[in-house]
Structure 1
């Protein structure tokens, strides 16, 4: 059976559920996808696509906040959630470059109160430490003194509760890979201890300012609108009645730094990916190590480096990326390093249509058909 016939039968089979189209990797195809989504009543968030280092498509589609219903713009600043982790990885790399830290030194040698003697900085970077989830520890070991107060915790408050609880490791360090927000929280605190600077200031001085990422910040969270950050995007979701929109932006741990908390824009994240491709933020040797999968105690490689998922095999063109998800935000930053192709996807509507949009971006880049849900 020919490939064309197979594709025709595939589209016919799904005709009652999906609209299926052949695509070519052009800016017009991305615009066509967004237009068709809009015609179905779906928004796609903010998208930027680049090829051979040049932006070929960018668009803002959605609302910045349900309070005013004002539309998103290309300058809207989204919470990146776990896409922030690569900046934490870079902060550690910059300290390594300065000779102030070693990946294989123990965390306890930097943070003396840290209760685990054998966990190293590399374990934290690679998600192989065995540290248990700090949200669970907080839920089990902390109760609000004032139930009418809105609490917002950061690293210091979380670590205090964590140290008092002194939980057992989920597994011996290096024995397996398990995604760990706790590990990246401690990485940010390590940066602060070694540098003597607040993590937000360190990021600003060593990464954001040198790269002219002028709309990127580790945000000191506040619940209400902030006149000093007029382009800040707020998360929301659709209520159970499928009509009303309700806020989905606050969480008690919204000030934790290291595992998330950075806000940024399409243009700034494009600058970031270009800085990585062109080695303008750090020497190539450091990035080569950061984009090498971590290794378990048994010698088995993982799929994660120092804040990036590694989506290429040894010897293949280098591809790294990371997703983010927190309160109303879902984000994705994709970087085909060797080809200098990639995209940025930023959304704030609690993942509504996120998976469809993300899949379409990958398909259009590859010249494959995309689908529009009915």
Structure 2
């Protein structure tokens, strides 16, 4: 590969004011080739279903600032860099930044243990430090089997976290844990006597000029929000609209993901970090120190992943996704380049675009592969146009997609996407076919159990959840807590049905209420 050695000179030719795209700049073709190639690549990707926005900055100068595709296909509303997206786990850097500020204020220390903040913490977790929560070395599992929009009281959430089994001894190994960052959010509330979001708004967002970022406490006009398209096909309610409907944020999400922002606001955050508006140079250094290996050439700091740029220099960043939205923030600190990228339609190649953009900036012979939606998108497109019975659909999928359903994730993701979109019968068809192909996979049985439960087929759901537990591995069963909880809920419902007196005027039937005892989990992170 031949790397570009004159990026600073190349980018200095693009004197682009905020709000303009690269097309507004007149520059010799041989010198604006990188941005032109990126723009052409993204425009070609739109033809294959891609939609999103990209912002590339060199220092304080914007060199590309543009939206691609539609924020809302129903109204032909285009995406711009002011469009609001769910930024997913990029949220973690704000939680980590808050901890840095509060430590400077003397309200806590990264060496503090959970025992200081939670008197009820069990013995095996008493020694977990804030440093270990920040670096994903606490030994806590990724989650507790609840979805992003499943609301339980904060004390119940904390108790469930504390009752969960450790996946490793605290401090011994890296294991990504969302609930660890939710504990940090709760600690922030405890030491400040403010809500997590209110504190972020006052001390991080507003000083950084981020007026369109948050969960609920910000200027969140629905007209700015990108609708979500699961696998690029199934329209889903925006994350923000779900927050507004609930009027609160679930503790399974708070502090670890789900903040809403735009590329314009995240660019303001980048400038704030560069210019030490809310964090000192020393605090930023602590955030971006290599504390623990993630494997390969990747390490984890405090809310940031750390790696190496194509030019062999330091790079920090983080990405995030919820199954529909995708967000990627890359900062090549030594080369003074930032790439901020978002999409409202997560498909097979969506996550690879950020890396492709980075490589195209440095290597003038690198041509990224054409954007490919992937098999999940192809199956969901077929299902969306199918008008036959569930059984006929199952047969058609088995025949027409036989070459791709040999990968167990394909039908699982497609089926769960259909389930989340209210297409329960079609979801059952796909998930049942997947279980037939991979009967030894407990995770797939758990997914099928969710579909049966939503269809109110309690017996079939019970059999599926039992199989999910029977076929679970000895360690690392991320679906087991969900399966056990579902079986308990089914038991409660069956007992209530047996005890319910039959009205003479209305004989009892085998039907049940349409809603289960607890809302179905958001399964966006399931493989």
Query: TM-score by structure 1 length?
Result: 0.78
Equivalent residue, structure 1, for 2:113: 106
- Displacement after TM superposition at 1:69 (Å): 4.2
- d(CA) in 2 for partners of 1:132, 1:363: 34
Equivalent residue, structure 1, for 2:140: 131
Equivalent residue, structure 2, for 1:168: 165
Equivalent residue, structure 2, for 1:119: 128
1:357 equivalent among 353, 358, 364: 353
Secondary structure class of the residue paired with 1:172: coil
1:322 equivalent among 318, 322, 325: 318
* 2:266 paired with 1:269: yes
* 2:247 paired with 1:245: no
- Displacement after TM superposition at 1:324 (Å): 0.4
- Displacement after TM superposition at 1:272 (Å): 1.0
Where in structure 2 are there 5+ consecutive unaligned residues?
3-29, 373-527
- Displacement after TM superposition at 1:234 (Å): 2.8
| Superposition RMSD in Å | 3.2
- d(CA) in 1 for partners of 2:149, 2:212: 27
- Displacement after TM superposition at 1:358 (Å): 2.1
Equivalent residue, structure 1, for 2:226: 233
* 2:81 paired with 1:83: no
- d(CA) in 1 for partners of 2:159, 2:238: 24
- d(CA) in 2 for partners of 1:76, 1:367: 30
2:197 equivalent among 195, 200, 206: 200
Q: Is the 8 A contact 1:218 1:263 kept in 2?
A: yes
Query: Cα deviations across residues 297-343 of structure 1 (Å, max 9, x unaligned)?
Result: xxxx9710100001149xx7432000101131111001112322011
Q: Is the 8 A contact 1:215 1:264 kept in 2?
A: yes
Secondary structure class of the residue paired with 1:35: helix
Query: Cα deviations across residues 120-145 of structure 1 (Å, max 9, x unaligned)?
Result: 00000010001123242x48xxxxxx
Distance 1:332 1:370, change over 3 A: same
Secondary structure class of the residue paired with 2:338: strand
Q: Is the 8 A contact 1:66 1:245 kept in 2?
A: no
Query: Cα deviations across residues 201-223 of structure 1 (Å, max 9, x unaligned)?
Result: 000000100011111112489xx
Distance 1:158 1:132, change over 3 A: farther
Where in structure 1 are there 5+ consecutive unaligned residues?
4-21, 140-149
- d(CA) in 2 for partners of 1:105, 1:160: 17
Secondary structure class of the residue paired with 2:331: strand
* 2:157 paired with 1:159: yes
Q: Which has the higher contact order (CA 8 A, sep 6+)?
A: 1
- Displacement after TM superposition at 1:362 (Å): 1.5
- d(CA) in 2 for partners of 1:154, 1:35: 43
Q: Is the 8 A contact 2:89 2:320 kept in 1?
A: yes
- d(CA) in 1 for partners of 2:216, 2:323: 15
Q: Is the 8 A contact 1:154 1:257 kept in 2?
A: no
- Displacement after TM superposition at 1:169 (Å): 1.0
Secondary structure class of the residue paired with 2:339: strand
* 2:354 paired with 1:346: no
* 2:91 paired with 1:93: no
Q: Is the 8 A contact 1:155 1:185 kept in 2?
A: no
- d(CA) in 1 for partners of 2:36, 2:176: 37
* 2:285 paired with 1:283: no
Query: Cα deviations across residues 44-103 of structure 1 (Å, max 9, x unaligned)?
Result: 411001113311001111222355342222211100000111011001111011111100
Q: Is the 8 A contact 2:55 2:62 kept in 1?
A: yes
Equivalent residue, structure 2, for 1:15: none
- d(CA) in 2 for partners of 1:333, 1:326: 16
* 2:61 paired with 1:54: yes
- d(CA) in 2 for partners of 1:344, 1:89: 19
- d(CA) in 1 for partners of 2:153, 2:74: 30
Equivalent residue, structure 2, for 1:303: 299
Secondary structure class of the residue paired with 1:190: helix
Equivalent residue, structure 2, for 1:7: none
Alignment of 1:25-36 (within 5 A): 26-36=34-44
* 2:212 paired with 1:215: yes
Q: Is the 8 A contact 2:316 2:331 kept in 1?
A: yes
Structure having the larger proportion of residues in helix: 2
- d(CA) in 1 for partners of 2:341, 2:298: 25
- d(CA) in 1 for partners of 2:291, 2:95: 16
User: Comparing 54-63 with 23-32, which one deviates more in the overlay?
Assistant: 23-32
- d(CA) in 1 for partners of 2:214, 2:208: 13
**Higher CA-based Rg:** 2
- Displacement after TM superposition at 1:360 (Å): 2.2
Distance 1:302 1:238, change over 3 A: closer
Structure having the larger proportion of residues in strand: 1
- d(CA) in 1 for partners of 2:166, 2:320: 25
User: Comparing 342-351 with 24-33, which one deviates more in the overlay?
Assistant: 24-33
Q: Is the 8 A contact 1:132 1:170 kept in 2?
A: yes
- d(CA) in 2 for partners of 1:317, 1:363: 13
